[in-house]
Structure 1
Amino acid sequence: MKARIGIVGAGSAGLGLALALVGRGFAPVVFEKRSEKQVIDEGIFLTLAPNGMNALRGFGLAAEALRHGVETRAIVLHNEHGKALGTVDYARHAAQFGAPSVTIRRGALGEILLAAVRAAGVPIHFETPVIAVANFETEVATTTADGVTHSFDVLVGADGLRSNVRSLAMPGLPTPAYNGLLGSGGIVDVPDVPPTNGQMLMTFGRRAFFGYIKDPGGPVYWFNSFPADEQQAQLIDRKAAAGYFEALHRTDPLVNRRIIAAAAPQVSRIYPDYDVPSLPYWSKGRVILIGDAAHAVTPHSGQGASMALEDALVLAACLEAEATPESAFRRFEALRRDRVEAAVQLGRQGGTPKKAQGWLARRIRDLVLPLFVPLGQRGQEHLFAFRADDTPLVRPN
């Protein structure tokens, strides 16, 4: 008899896991504290690296994601004067790794996964937060906010950076820590901005980092990141956000200022950037954490959603292959820990140059960055080469 599996969280990790489990004959149940509208509306956009697209191929969804996204063929880094500091070439990704890099609206990826999960017949309980977890020797019981208790053989916390499952089932684990950067972004029509030919153009400005990509005839996908106190995110009034962002980018190249002028009045939220310290363990009893709940990857690595989708495929395979949940959890962590910690470290390295303030710090960055870009590209490609959809453990017989 297949294990009863409860999944908390309807993001990439939770929905991906539900799909992977159904494909192996399990009948999972998903609980999500947000409404369905929030799941498909929240967030801005993300980039799926080749390893993430290949994970989606394991669910049969890679082509759909590419259809809804923008193929990203390079990242070009500039200083505040518009001088190119280095290029990370993604043009060969499809040939080299079996899939391109794709920038896609976060909600669009959520809609794709959600539609597939629904088609597979998985029950999804929206607006149903889990408020209690009892981790017994032979089962785990969860109580939801409506007062209903559910019993499972395995409970998976796929509920993100501020995981409620983590705090309920493993209260001694470290909590997220702010890393000094705030950021925002959006998708906006700016007709006088030319297409970028698949390049994500990034600028280390004097006060903020800025990046954007645009397909012919399509909108601009833009984001920024800037050093500030964490409380600043709450202090920036929405009505004043336009002026604040325009001031941040006042000395940027003209094209950046055009995008900000069009986009800033629509900014509705500023996001603090958090790290989760390396957790000493990802499971306890019959409860396991995956995705950002276990190993939050900063946006600077471009690997958060990709690692979550990989986790989903690998955990489903481990649960099928092992005789007990505990042995499946040990195997999962042994397979995943070194890999995700490499992605976390890559993200931290990517965030450091964005904190450079003052003339001297910027000058040193401009001198050093061209030397480190090739090293960073090699580090990325080591992550990209993994095929979660085509490894013996993960690939169904």
Structure 2
Amino acid sequence: MARVRTVAVIGGGIAGPVTALALRKAGIEATVYESYPAPTDGVGGAIAVAPNGVAALDIVGVDLPRAWPIHRQVMSIGHKRVQLPALAGVGPLQMIHRRDLHQSLASSVEINYGKRLVDAVPGRGGVTAVFADGDEIRADVLIGADGVHSTVRRLIDPAAPGPRYTGMLAFEGRSPLEVPEEPGTMIFAFGKRGYYLYGPTPGGGTTFGINLPHPPLTITSARAVPPAKWTETLLETYGEDSPGGDLIRRLPAGELTVNGALHLMPPVPHWHRGRMVLVGDAVHAPSNSSGQGASLSIESAVELAQCLRDFTDVGEAFTHYEGLRRRRVEKVASRAARTNGVKAPGPVGKALLPILMPIFMRIAMNPERVLGPEQRYRIDWVTDLRSAAA
């Protein structure tokens, strides 16, 4: 059977370009198609890349420009603070603005913008991608890296579940307010009415992120709200918190970033069909509580390319890829879902949170047991998967 030679990657965010780079390293031609009409440099905020994600990026030769390491993480509940346990010997979490990571990826991969996929037609030994502008592109394989609202997921399985709204909108900013924390610290704060995180920014000021409990809004609708109105809404929820309220009040007008609704993906029954397959948030998007969303997408991109490199039969490659990834990503998603539930707790949860969270952190969050399997994961790119399976 002929080896895969050409791949059409749908989605130019993070997973798509990493997939293309990994395929190129595997000796397979890959082209990326993105529905946005132009690069989206202003979309998205800071991304956390865990040590396992950094290791996967190393395989495809991508570094993290302008990232800053997080050496210390602290849970803050009212006046109580609990330092989160660290995992030894894996390196720190790396924070990087999505724009900087995307620019680094896009500089190595050509992305065709303005290409919104509307259909995929299977053919003899390949698949034809049909775009809204009338263009048709044929490739041996089509990969859906098109996010939680994936078109490719629907084409693979019209009955596939869609993303679930977490009940929160994401906001971000860099306030000139200096917080009394050592560099490389990230504080996860449970305020009186909502959750937020913050930490000192290299070069001065404080970067903060907010998960605002709110009815669902599309990103377009959320960004149509005047910034001053959002600031007013945020202060209603976080104004009494310290330093949350002051971080918002000191933020210069117009510099609040609206990142939109936070979603997670439930388990997807079918990861692939025929010559189409899913990768990244299109098939597994855990809550941002996991700290693993970007890293898992990067891992899956690299391991999918490795499977297509080592298995000449496409169906066998896709089956092996799902076998490598499904249990791992669903386990991380399950852990994160439990954590996510305390970000916007009900009245009883709010009363118990200050008592339960320190106990939870000291007893349940054994760093090696919980974080070890996630952060110590390394992809063996050199090994031939087909030979190893045999």
Alignment partner of 1:104 is 2:96:
yes
Written as runs of structure 1 = structure 2, the 5 A alignment for 1:311-350 is 311-350=300-339
Q: Residue 167 of structure 1: which of 154, 165, 175 is its match?
A: 154
Query: Are the aligned partners of 1:246 and 1:264 in contact in 2 as well (CA < 8 Å)?
Result: no
Q: Deviations over 1:75-120 (max 9, x none)?
A: 21111x3321x22234x55xx12x4210110111111111122xxx
Give the direction of change, closer, same or farther, for the CA distance of 1:16–1:323 in structure 2 (3 Å limit).
Answer: same
- Cα displacement (A) at 1:388: 2.1
Alignment partner of 1:387 is 2:378:
yes
Query: Are the aligned partners of 2:172 and 2:257 in contact in 1 as well (CA < 8 Å)?
Result: no
* Distance of 1:393 and 1:78 partners within structure 2: 46
- Cα displacement (A) at 1:352: 1.0
Alignment partner of 1:113 is 2:105:
yes
Task: Tell me the residue number matched to 2:72.
Answer: 74
- Cα displacement (A) at 1:258: 2.1
Alignment partner of 1:214 is 2:200:
yes
Query: Are the aligned partners of 1:7 and 1:157 in contact in 2 as well (CA < 8 Å)?
Result: yes
Unaligned 5+ segments in structure 2 are 386-390
* Distance of 2:250 and 2:154 partners within structure 1: 40
SS at match of 1:278: coil
Give the direction of change, closer, same or farther, for the CA distance of 1:144–1:328 in structure 2 (3 Å limit).
Answer: same
Task: Tell me the residue number matched to 2:19.
Answer: 17
Written as runs of structure 1 = structure 2, the 5 A alignment for 1:242-253 is 242-253=231-242
Amino acid at match of 1:41: G
Amino acid at match of 1:12: I
Written as runs of structure 1 = structure 2, the 5 A alignment for 1:224-243 is 224-231=210-217, 234=221, 237-243=226-232
Give the direction of change, closer, same or farther, for the CA distance of 1:88–1:392 in structure 2 (3 Å limit).
Answer: farther
Task: Tell me the residue number matched to 2:145.
Answer: 158
Query: Are the aligned partners of 1:207 and 1:357 in contact in 2 as well (CA < 8 Å)?
Result: no
Query: Are the aligned partners of 1:73 and 1:89 in contact in 2 as well (CA < 8 Å)?
Result: no
Query: Are the aligned partners of 2:177 and 2:247 in contact in 1 as well (CA < 8 Å)?
Result: no
Give the direction of change, closer, same or farther, for the CA distance of 1:391–1:368 in structure 2 (3 Å limit).
Answer: farther
SS at match of 2:343: helix
* Distance of 1:70 and 1:47 partners within structure 2: 10
Query: Are the aligned partners of 1:212 and 1:220 in contact in 2 as well (CA < 8 Å)?
Result: yes
Query: Are the aligned partners of 2:178 and 2:206 in contact in 1 as well (CA < 8 Å)?
Result: no
Alignment partner of 1:142 is 2:132:
no
Task: Tell me the residue number matched to 1:88.
Answer: 84
Amino acid at match of 1:88: L
SS at match of 2:258: coil
Alignment partner of 1:200 is 2:197:
no
- The root-mean-square deviation of aligned C-alpha atoms, in Å, is 2.4
Give the direction of change, closer, same or farther, for the CA distance of 1:336–1:3 in structure 2 (3 Å limit).
Answer: same
Give the direction of change, closer, same or farther, for the CA distance of 1:232–1:294 in structure 2 (3 Å limit).
Answer: closer
- Cα displacement (A) at 1:296: 1.3
Query: Are the aligned partners of 2:4 and 2:140 in contact in 1 as well (CA < 8 Å)?
Result: no
Amino acid at match of 1:47: A
- Cα displacement (A) at 1:393: 4.8
Query: Are the aligned partners of 1:137 and 1:285 in contact in 2 as well (CA < 8 Å)?
Result: no
What TM-score, normalized to structure 1? 0.88
What TM-score, normalized to structure 2? 0.90
Task: Tell me the residue number matched to 1:120.
Answer: none
Give the direction of change, closer, same or farther, for the CA distance of 1:201–1:148 in structure 2 (3 Å limit).
Answer: same
Which protein has the bigger helix share? Answer: 1
Query: Are the aligned partners of 2:144 and 2:152 in contact in 1 as well (CA < 8 Å)?
Result: yes
Unaligned 5+ segments in structure 1 are 118-122
- Cα displacement (A) at 1:190: 0.9
Query: Are the aligned partners of 2:39 and 2:113 in contact in 1 as well (CA < 8 Å)?
Result: no
- Cα displacement (A) at 1:196: 3.5
Give the direction of change, closer, same or farther, for the CA distance of 1:231–1:115 in structure 2 (3 Å limit).
Answer: closer
Q: Deviations over 1:207-249 (max 9, x none)?
A: 1111112145334221111323225985765431111111211
* Distance of 2:251 and 2:290 partners within structure 1: 24
Alignment partner of 1:363 is 2:351:
yes
